[in-house]
Amino acid sequence: MELLLRLSRSIDRLTESIGKLVLWLVLVMVAIGMWNAVGRYIGQAIGVGLSSNAFIEAQWYCFSLLFLLGASYTLKHDEHVRMDMLYNTWPPQRRALANAIGAALFLVPFSALTLWFAWKPVSNSWKIQEVSPDPGGLPRYPIKAMILVCFVLLIVQGISEIIKNVAIVTGHRTPPGSAIDPNQIAPNGERES
């Protein structure tokens, strides 16, 4: 189990790094959006086109990247929406069992199925070097490839979540929020969640 927990910690570090990197896209997206709004009016006032479809699509691409690459980070931090009122009343081991089963039976297979169905449209987009139909638009094939990256990252993080939750169920790890477990201490000395 220690080897699997080490693998889980490595996956979590990768996911955390990607999440922190993607966070900067919020600022980029807001800056582009602000430029689009302000540039349109300034451009009209001075008679020069300061906004374009490329800027509008760049803002859309930033949002897409934020969503697609942030999904595994959100999973790692257990921040996806839950609608189960019973879940909150369960003891930590039962929640961990439900999380492990849910990830193994739903998250990983759904993500794999999505990869299967997305592969052909994404590869076709790359083959034809698909671009936006709008004048001055951006290439579409790189952003479509991020669909595949998103679901690969979800599968990998799902595996990490399964490992951590099985470790809780089997007693090899204490649930988050419990007493400090040495298996939950990161190499840098910080407590993992």
Any idea which residue has 């979590």 for tokens? 12
* Neighbouring residues of 105: CB distance < 8 A, sequence distance ≥ 6: none
pLDDT per position as a tens digit, 5-54: 999 999 999 999 999 999 999 999 999 989 888 888 887 788 877 777 88
pLDDT per position as a tens digit, 111-147: 999 999 999 999 999 999 999 988 888 999 999 999 9
pLDDT per position as a tens digit, 170-187: 988 888 766 555 555 555
The pLDDT, as a whole number, for residue 62 is 93
Query: Does 124 map to a domain?
Result: yes
pTM of the model: 0.81
What is the domain extent for residue 7?
A: 2-80+87-184
CA distance 66 to 62: 6
Query: Does 193 map to a domain?
Result: no
Query: Does 192 map to a domain?
Result: no
Whether residue 157 contacts residue 15, with contact meaning beta carbons closer than 8 Å, is answered with yes
Query: Does 150 map to a domain?
Result: yes
Query: Does 190 map to a domain?
Result: no
Query: Does 189 map to a domain?
Result: no
* Neighbouring residues of 108: CB distance < 8 A, sequence distance ≥ 6: 155, 158, 159, 162
Higher pLDDT, 149 or 179: 149
Alpha-carbon distances, residue 105 vs 64, 110, 165 (angstroms): 27, 8, 14
CA distance 41 to 104: 52
The pLDDT, as a whole number, for residue 38 is 86
Query: Does 143 map to a domain?
Result: yes
Query: Does 21 map to a domain?
Result: yes
The pLDDT, as a whole number, for residue 184 is 53
Give the residue-averaged pLDDT of 86-97. Answer: 88
Count how many domains the chain has: 1
